[in-house]
């Protein structure tokens, strides 16, 4: 029986931000050009995401240096900082194939993110940790022995919760930081896992550089965490993350060369395989068939990106789909 229940009391600000974000996401779904892929846009926003997230953790590499690494170039810089970026690039390259509710996937991603950087890489911490501010302890994380159970409960909660994904992904992020499950890399993992949750719900989030917004508002980020802890209510942190997402959507702006992230994710989920609609939905972690057909499959079929195995009987129970070869 699920017992985990984060404390969250919504307010008008949260409702207003949620409505504004949903309206912008809806607008993007009509503005995207479904015909042209933009690897450059993806790389640019990946560089902003990685540089923003790592800069929060005192990585010294500039956006230009991180962009060069994303593009496969060599740069001169501190070895540790370069390795952090290289690990982050490798982690984001596989992020969207991960199950957002899998603890094993979470541990594996932490192992990639911290490879060669920390002793306890890819495992939960074995010791006690605290969060310091100006040489004062402001938060003592739960005992290490409780961490696996707390994370399992948190993942089960976010999977089952009826809250909108915009809200429950932010609640997850705050609760993750409160648990502080790793000896190092908690901030990076919390931000990355929220992105995974959001992109599973709406693939457009794989294009948003929310971490760059967080970096530019770093003190507000920490203040929101501290306020939520002090109030025993994660609403301040939810408000902050929603405002960061709202700003990231504004900064992305309409793009004429952006492949629909829905179609991009659909094609990636099929790959070289031939799958039924149900199997594709499972690969995408989708449950609503009507939405899947309208947003993913029908546009792909209309554009000739995907083809049926039985085109003369589109409603056949044996129907399968594959990526159309050029």
Question: For residue 112, is it within any domain?
Answer: yes
One domain for residues 160 and 78: yes
Query: How sure is the predictor about 190, in pLDDT bands with cuts at 50, 70 and 90?
Result: very high
Residue 93 and residue 217: Cα distance in Å, rounded? 26
* Domain edge (last residue) among 222, 252, 282: 252
pLDDT at 203: 84
Mean pLDDT of the chain: 88
113-127 confidence digits (pLDDT tens): 999 999 999 999 999
One domain for residues 146 and 191: yes
**What DSSP state is assigned to residue 122?**
T
Residue 96 and residue 204: Cα distance in Å, rounded? 12
How is residue 92 written in tokens? 């984001």
Residue 302's alpha-carbon distances to 35, 112, 275, in angstroms, are 11, 38, 18
Please name the residue that has the structure tokens 């993913």: 296
277 and 297 in contact (C-beta within 8 Å)? yes
Count CB-CB contacts under 10 A for residue 185: 22
Between residues 314 and 207, the one the model is more confident about: 314
Question: For residue 220, is it within any domain?
Answer: yes
Q: What is the CATH number of the domain that holds 313?
A: 1.10.10
One domain for residues 237 and 305: no
In the predicted structure, residue 237 carries a pLDDT above the cut 50: yes
Stated length of the chain: 326
pLDDT at 5: 87
Q: Is 318 exposed, middle or buried (0-12, 13-18, 19+ CB in 10 A)?
A: exposed
Between residues 310 and 134, the one the model is more confident about: 310
In the predicted structure, residue 258 carries a pLDDT above the cut 60: no
Residues placed in the known binding site: 131-139, 184-191, 221-222
In the predicted structure, residue 261 carries a pLDDT above the cut 90: no
In the predicted structure, residue 282 carries a pLDDT above the cut 50: yes
Please name the residue that has the structure tokens 């939905």: 281
75-93 confidence digits (pLDDT tens): 999 999 999 999 999 999 8
Residues in CB range of 15: below 8 A, 6 or more apart? none
pLDDT at 136: 65
Residue 101's alpha-carbon distances to 62, 156, 277, 290, in angstroms, are 33, 7, 22, 23
Residue 73 and residue 191: Cα distance in Å, rounded? 26
Specify whether 180 is catalytic: yes
One domain for residues 172 and 277: no
131-167 confidence digits (pLDDT tens): 666 666 666 889 999 999 999 999 999 999 999 999 9
Between residues 212 and 31, the one the model is more confident about: 212
Extended strands (E) in the chain: 130-133, 136-140, 306-308, 321-323
Q: What letters, b where the CB count within 10 A reaches 16 and e where it falls short, cover 136-163?
A: eeebebeebeebeebbebbbebbeebeb
Residue 150 and residue 4: Cα distance in Å, rounded? 8
Domain count, the chain: 2
How is residue 83 written in tokens? 């390795």
Q: What 3-state class would DSSP assign to 318?
A: coil
pLDDT at 256: 38
In the predicted structure, residue 30 carries a pLDDT above the cut 60: no
pLDDT at 37: 42
3-state SS string over 230-281? HHCCCHHHHHHHHHHHHHHHHHHCCCCCCCCHHHHHHHHHHCCCCECHHHHH
Across 140-144, 205-209, 316-320, least confident range: 205-209
Structural domain including 230 reads 38-252
One domain for residues 146 and 283: no
pLDDT at 92: 92
Question: For residue 167, is it within any domain?
Answer: yes
Question: For residue 223, is it within any domain?
Answer: yes
Between residues 292 and 109, the one the model is more confident about: 109
One domain for residues 219 and 174: yes
How is residue 215 written in tokens? 């970096």
Query: How sure is the predictor about 310, in pLDDT bands with cuts at 50, 70 and 90?
Result: very high
Q: What is the CATH number of the domain that holds 127?
A: 1.10.3290.10
Side-chain half-sphere CA neighbours of 168 within 13 A: 17
pLDDT at 2: 52
Nearest CA-CA partner of 48 in 21, 25, 69: 69
Question: For residue 293, is it within any domain?
Answer: yes
Residues placed in the known binding site for ATP: 131-139, 184-191, 221-222
pLDDT at 127: 93
Q: Which of 26, 149, 173, 180 is catalytic?
A: 180
Question: For residue 292, is it within any domain?
Answer: yes
pLDDT at 257: 46
């Amino acid at each position: 029986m699920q017992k985990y229940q984060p404390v969250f009391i919504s307010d008008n600000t949260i409702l207003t931000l949620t409505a504004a974000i949903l309206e912008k996401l809806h607008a993007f779904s009509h503005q995207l050009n479904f015909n042209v892929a933009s690897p450059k846009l993806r790389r640019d926003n990946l560089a902003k995401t990685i540089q923003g997230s790592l800069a929060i953790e005192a990585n010294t590499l500039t956006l230009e240096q991180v962009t060069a690494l994303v593009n496969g170039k060599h740069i001169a810089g501190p070895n540790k900082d370069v390795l952090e970026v290289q690990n982050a690039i490798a982690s984001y390259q596989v992020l969207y194939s991960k199950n957002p509710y899998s603890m094993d996937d979470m541990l594996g991603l932490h192992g990639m993110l911290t490879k060669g950087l920390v002793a306890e890489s890819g495992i939960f911490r074995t010791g006690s940790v605290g969060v310091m501010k100006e040489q004062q302890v402001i938060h003592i994380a739960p005992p290490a022995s409780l961490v696996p159970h707390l994370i399992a409960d948190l993942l089960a909660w976010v999977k089952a919760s009826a809250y909108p994904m915009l809200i429950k992904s932010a609640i997850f992020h705050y609760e993750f930081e409160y648990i502080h499950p790793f000896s190092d890399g908690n901030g990076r993992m919390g931000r990355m896992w929220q992105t995974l949750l959001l992109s599973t719900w709406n693939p457009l989030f794989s294009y948003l550089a929310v971490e760059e917004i967080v970096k530019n508002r770093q003190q507000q980020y920490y203040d929101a965490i501290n306020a939520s802890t002090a109030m025993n209510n994660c609403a301040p942190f939810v408000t902050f993350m929603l405002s960061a997402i709202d700003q990231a959507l504004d900064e992305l702006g309409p793009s004429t060369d952006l492949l629909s992230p829905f179609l991009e994710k659909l094609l990636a989920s099929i790959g070289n395989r031939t799958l039924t609609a149900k199997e594709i939905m499972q690969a995408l972690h989708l449950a609503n068939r009507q939405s899947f057909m309208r947003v993913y499959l029908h546009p792909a079929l209309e554009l000739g990106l995907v083809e049926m195995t039985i085109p003369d009987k589109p409603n056949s129970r044996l129907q399968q789909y594959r990526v159309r070869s050029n």
